[in-house]
Each structure stands twice: as C-alpha cells, then as structure tokens.
Amino acid sequence: MMATAHIDSLAARHAALDASLAAELKRPLPDSVRLARLKREKLKVKEQLTGH
C-alpha cells in the first residue's frame, strides 16, 4: 500500500497539472503540444493515484 505522503504528493501534482492546463487553455493561442503533454502527465498521475 502506498504511503500517505506519496499519495498527498501525487494529489498535489495532479492539482498543479490541472491548474497548468486551465491556465494554458485561457491563453489567446494555447500551445497544443504543451496541452497534450500536460494531459498525458496528468493521466499518468491519476493512474498512479487510482492504482492502475
């Protein structure tokens, strides 16, 4: 089972990625490459959090 500190760290990273995604989407010309990278990274963190 994962340690609570690790889960908290993953949750914080997930929230930070979500904020970065939101900020990028608000830009007049969002960078599609950056958006794709952020989405992939966020999905990886989510999978780690859910244990998949």
**Exposed e or buried b per residue across 28-49, where buried means at least 16 C-beta atoms within 10 angstroms of its C-beta:** eeeeeeeeeebeeebeebeebe
What is the per-residue pLDDT for 25?
97
Q: Which two tokens stand for residue 47?
A: 């999978």
- pTM for the whole thing? 0.86
Q: pLDDT in tens for each of the 52 residues of the chain?
A: 558 999 999 999 999 999 999 999 999 999 999 999 999 999 999 999 998 6
